[in-house]
Amino acid sequence: QKEVEQNSGPLSVPEGAIASLNCTYSDRVSQSFFWYRQYSGKSPELIMSIYSNGDKEDGRFTAQLNKASQYVSLLIRDSQPSDSATYLCAVNIEREKLTFGTGTRLTIIP
Amino acid sequence: EPEVTQTPSHQVTQMGQEVILRCVPISNHLYFYWYRQILGQKVEFLVSFYNNEISEKSEIFDDQFSVERPDGSNFTLKIRSTKLEDSAMYFCATGQTNTGELFFGEGSRLTVL
């Protein structure tokens, strides 16, 4: 079965520090990778997409992709209390279908 | 900012009843999806819809489920005869492309009693 794996957490990080979230996926042919943020009781919101190996930066967020290791990560610099949420890794494993991980719950401690 | 709108926000129904969940996609988006999330579990793909037909569906999307876009604006998910295990949050999502960069609606919470 094609899967996306994440550590469910909770992950606690002090305000101002770097939060590091990790995700592995099982299908080598996957081409598209995403990080969605989901606040409690709310819908997922796209924060980063990455399609090629290496780093992609957008403001305080950096996505990192290593296709050889089947690994994608998200770094959040200068963490803020508003970053407290569940972060969902999603992979486009099959043509029109996003497969989500279970999510990592992140808490930023003021 | 354009958004995906879903109605109703919450529906309570008796087992065996039909339910229709509605979604108004972002206007220039071409790809439409339904996902669901059972409380405390992961977001699961149900179906994708493009050019007025289903392009892909999951094993969850059995004969009890159907989708349509009858008037060119609303995108609907119908569950013909609800079961207890259909209780979940149902998210409509849309995209300009099929890459996976999706905009999600706020969800419709379905409770089956």
pLDDT tens-digit series, residues B50-106: 999 999 999 999 999 999 998 778 999 999 999 999 999 999 999 998 888 999 999
**Tokens 């529906």 label which residue?**
B11
Mean of pLDDT values over A31-58: 96
- Amino acid A2: pLDDT: 66
Residues 6+ apart with CB under 8 A from A53: A65, A66, A67, A68
How close A32 comes to chain B (CA, Å)?
Answer: 7
Q: Check B43 against A95: CB less than 8 A apart.
A: no
- Chain centroid to CA B28: how far? 18
Pick among A96, A102, A105 to test the B interface (most B CBs inside 10 A):
A96
Report the alpha-carbon distance of residue A92 to residue A73 in Å, rounded: 16
Report the alpha-carbon distance of residue A79 to residue B21 in Å, rounded: 37
Mean of pLDDT values over A52-73: 96
Q: Which of B41, B43, B98 is nearest residue A44 as measured by Cβ atoms?
A: B43
* Amino acid identity, position B89: M
